[in-house]
Homo-oligomer: A and B are copies of this chain.
Amino acid sequence: MKTVTCTAPVNIAVIKYWGKRDENLILPVNSSLSATLGQNELRAKTTVAVDPSFTEDKMWLNDKEQSVNTQRIQNVFREIRRRARKRKGDGDKSKIFSQKIHICSENNFPTAAGLASSAAGYACLVYSLAKLFDVDGEISDIARQGSGSACRSIYGGFVEWQMGTKADGSDSFAKQITPAQHWPEMCILILVVSDQKKHTGSTEGMQTSVQNSRLLEKRIEVVPERMTNITKAIKEKDFHTFAEITMKDSNQFHAICLDTYPPISYMTDVSRQIVRFVHSFNNHSGETKVAYTFDAGPNACLYLLEKDLGRVISLVNHFFPAQDNGLNLKVQGLPVSIDKPSQKDIDALSLPVLPNSIKYLINTKVGEGPQILSDPSESLLTDNGHPKTLSS
């Protein structure tokens, strides 16, 4: 049995991807840009294996067997095998391509967190299969065909997804803008909002937006300028410009959702209170110290610099406390102490206190791209190709 185990990161967009021009190839109507998050906090882990004894392709995701007969999985399989064959030359007779594949994947964070796990998952699947089949070169365009934003999780640091213009999608792939180490002061704080009811799926939602949001036509004109400016800001570590564009683009994405018919609402009253908190804190600080961005759910992702992290967390803990009982919010990820905020800060923000509105925090940073785990003990599959967690 030939096997490979890898991990891949989650990414959070600061210029949002919303709308496809090709549903099958997953080609977007605008370019997007994201930060890749640290994998100690948030990652997908996948083991892929091929063996002559396997009778069919099989996949287990978070201990549940899933069908591989979806268009997206099959597109990924087809493309990986095609490139592997091509690389080995037409004459190659390697049996490996005819062997069935077993896939086992899991996330180190609860799906209930409402964090986009498909990006990390498909990036990890494609990266693992590429290693398994010795496929070199650009593979983010293969990940893109599994889940659009997955292409950005193929690289670490700040990453752009160039929308491309070709009908076959060959120029629609991800590209690293700056490596993970470029901006070490940058912190990413995720506020997991308690209310996690089922939301409109992003695939369905963006389809409807493309069909009937009149304002999306304008957004498509606006994004290129934002891509240029935020890329420059990231390269120059210009936090103010980075933060303003990030917040404006998050707001515009949710505006497009609202302009869709029927309207789509991902943000809740708690999300909006976090927005007010950030603007109030920035006004009080006399400069833009924190940026928020929201994906297809109520959770907030805050970008801020290390020097402000302690002060911001203490204020988040004050205005969005876990309970009325005075216990601190739980923080997952990088260690951070929650101190008592200054009365001056509390008075200046003058916001209501909303207990039980935030479930917990995830404290992370910009991180690396997918990793290979060579230690056999890391494999999620037994020697006979079944999930360790399901074997006894």
Report which A residues bind B (CB closer than 8 A).
214-215, 217-219, 222, 244, 247-248, 251-252, 254-256, 258-263, 265, 268-269, 272, 275, 279
Contacts and interface: CB of A to CB of B under 8 A. Distances in A.
Nearest to A252: B259
Nearest to A259: B255
A248 B215 CA distance: 11
A255 B165 CA distance: 29
Copies in the complex: 2
A280 to B, nearest CB: 9
Given A214-B219, A251-B261, A268-B269, 4 more contacts: A214-B222, A214-B252, A215-B215, A255-B255
Contact of A219 (B215, B268, B275): B215
A258 B263 CA distance: 13
25 contacts: A214-B218, A214-B222, A214-B252, A215-B215, A215-B255, A215-B259, A217-B218, A218-B218, A244-B261, A247-B261, A248-B261, A251-B258, A251-B259, A251-B260, A251-B263, A252-B259, A254-B258, A255-B255, A255-B256, A255-B258, A258-B258, A265-B272, A265-B275, A268-B269, A269-B269
Helix, strand, loop or mixed for chain A's interface? helix
A279 B222 CA distance: 31
Contacts of A263: 251, 275
A248 B213 CA distance: 9
Contacts of A272: 265
Contacts of A244: 261
A109 to B, nearest CB: 26
A346 to B, nearest CB: 19
- Of all A-B residue pairs in the complex, the 6 with the closest CB atoms, nearest first, are A218-B218, A255-B259, A255-B255, A255-B258, A215-B215, A262-B279
A352 to B, nearest CB: 9
A3 to B, nearest CB: 46
Nearest to A247: B261
A223 to B, nearest CB: 10
